[in-house]
Amino acid sequence: MRTIEFREALREAMSEEMRRDEKVFLMGEEVAEYNGAYKVSKGMLAEFGPKRVIDTPIAELGFAGIGVGAAMNGLRPIIEFMTFNFSLVAIDQVINSAAKMYSMSGGQYNVPIVFRGPTASAGMLSSQHSQAFENWYANCPGLKVVVPSNPNDAKGLLKSAIRDNDPVIFMESEQMYGDKGEVPEEEYLIPIGVADIKKQGKDVTIVSFGKIFKVAMAAARELEFEGIDAEVIDLRTVRPIDYATIIQSVKKTNRLVVVEEAWPLASISSELAFKVQKEAFDYLDAPVTRITTADTPLPYAPTLIEASLPSTARVVKAVKEAMYIRK
């Protein structure tokens, strides 16, 4: 199977869907003439023209609103935020228009729109450009929230998101665009709301998603050398959440560690801990543990960034504590 970059997988997903359906278009800052801030849309302007690959002013509230209106009138927009930190400028349109319109119109208006772009930390960008908002958007009824961890999932999930009749928040990472992975050449879709067990195991369940999933996998590989067999689940979608896959795994391993790149209060890991203790409490041999970003704005200094974010060492330590291994 061929190997391509994460950005190429996203480009293929958008281009294939735009060839398939003339109602699909891409709009955002620098997506056209500049080929995208992260070169995700490279070459798309040349193929589809300026009516379907549209550069916008630096006005997220404005072009998000245009996208919502276009979706209500039968088009299928892909709205790219240069970073989801900037989506805060447009959050009124995302939360109060896109997410609410189907319900408020009594089912008369679908809003088939995808809001996509990078989320969370991306190196030394400091506090205002390093925030993970997956749990914020997942808190809102009417939205679906997808956070892929690899090129294969990114392509299959983005194609499903573009075809979905509900608004989808599709969150990536600036530090993943160059990641390479195997992606089939033939068309495929990955359903929204289905987690993936990336590694089978019997001693502990580790759940994660997005960029930080690589930390969870690295910890699982390190734990193997110490005789601990971890099952690692990639959530892939944080609304809706595939609770059944996680609970089934916990019933097998009897332990759960959740790793995410968000602040701890009201996080996805908080929700998973509640759900598991509610539905699988009798199976737990240790308290549910979560590894999150430190409860503080992310600093600029690289040493402080390293100390703030989830790390392989922190995950390994948490698993050992869940296994009651004190060393």
Which are the catalytic amino acids?
Answer: 60, 129
Residue 14 near residue 162, CB atoms below 8 Å: yes
Q: Amino acid identity, residue 175?
A: Q
The DSSP line for 199-241 is: E--SSEEEEE-GGGHHHHHHHHHHHHTTT--EEEEE--EEES-
**What gap in Å lies between CA 30 and CA 49, rounded to an integer?**
14
H helical segments located in the chain: 6-20, 44-48, 60-72, 91, 101-104, 134-138, 151-163, 213-224, 243-253, 268-279, 302-308, 312-322
Helices 151-163 & 6-20 angle (0-180, nearest 10): 30
**What gap in Å lies between CA 120 and CA 212, rounded to an integer?**
10
Q: How many CB atoms lie within 10 A of CB 279?
A: 15
Spatial strand order of the sheet with 230-234 comes to 196-199, 230-234, 204-208, 256-259, 289-291
